[in-house]
Amino acid sequence: MAVAAAAVSASCLMPTYRRLPVSFCRGRGLRLWDAQGNEYLDAIAGVGVTALGHAHPELAQVIAEQAACVLHTSNLVEIEWQERLARRLCALTGLAAAFFCNSGAEANEAALKLARLHARRRGVTAPLILTLENSFHGRTLATLSATGNPAVKEGFAPLVDGFLHVPADDPAALEAVARSRPEVVAVLLEPVQGEGGVRSLSAAYLQAVRRLCDRHGWLMMVDEVQTGLGRTGAWFGYQHAGVQPDVLTLAKGLGNGIPIGACLAGAAAADLFAPGSHGSTFGGNPLACRVACTVLDILARDDLPRRARRLGERLRAGLQAAIGTLPGVEAIRGPGLMVGIALDRPVDELPRLALERERLLLGVARGGTLRLLPALIASEPDIDDIVARVARLLTGVLRS
Strand locations in 94-235, DSSP E?
97-101, 128-132, 163-166, 184-189, 192-193, 199-200, 219-223
Residue 287: CB minimum distance to ligand PLP, A: 17
Assess contact for 127 and 116: CB atoms under 8 A. Answer: yes
Note whether 148 binds ligand PLP by CB under 6 A: no
Count of residues engaged in binding ligand PLP, rule: CB under 6 A? 15
Evaluate the CA torsion angle 82, 88, 91, 94 in order and state its sign: negative
Q: Which of 277, 292, 347, 242 is nearest to 109 (CA)?
A: 277
Q: Is the peptide bond before 158 cis (omega within 30 degrees of 0)?
A: yes
- The binding track of 249-288 with respect to ligand PLP, each residue x by CB under 6 A or -, is --xx------------------------------------
Q: Which of 46, 148, 194, 266 binds ligand PLP (CB under 6 A)?
A: 194
Q: Which of 104, 230, 233, 245 binds ligand PLP (CB under 6 A)?
A: 104
CA–CA dist 175, 183 (Å, integer): 14
Stretch that binds ligand PLP, among 82-90, 201-209, 219-227, 373-381 (CB under 6 A): 219-227
Pick 42 or 190: Cβ nearer ligand PLP: 190
Total count of residues recorded for the chain: 400
Pick 223 or 358: Cβ nearer ligand PLP: 223
Residue sitting closest to ligand PLP (CB): 104
Q: Which of 138, 253, 257, 318 binds ligand PLP (CB under 6 A)?
A: 138
Number of alpha carbons in the 13 Å side-chain half-sphere of residue 274: 2
Pick 253 or 318: Cβ nearer ligand PLP: 253
CA–CA dist 150, 153 (Å, integer): 5
Pick 252 or 389: Cβ nearer ligand PLP: 252
Note whether 137 binds ligand PLP by CB under 6 A: yes
SS3 219: strand
Q: In the complex, which residues of this chain contact ligand PLP (CB under 6 A)? A: 103-105, 108, 136-138, 190, 194-195, 223, 225-226, 251-252
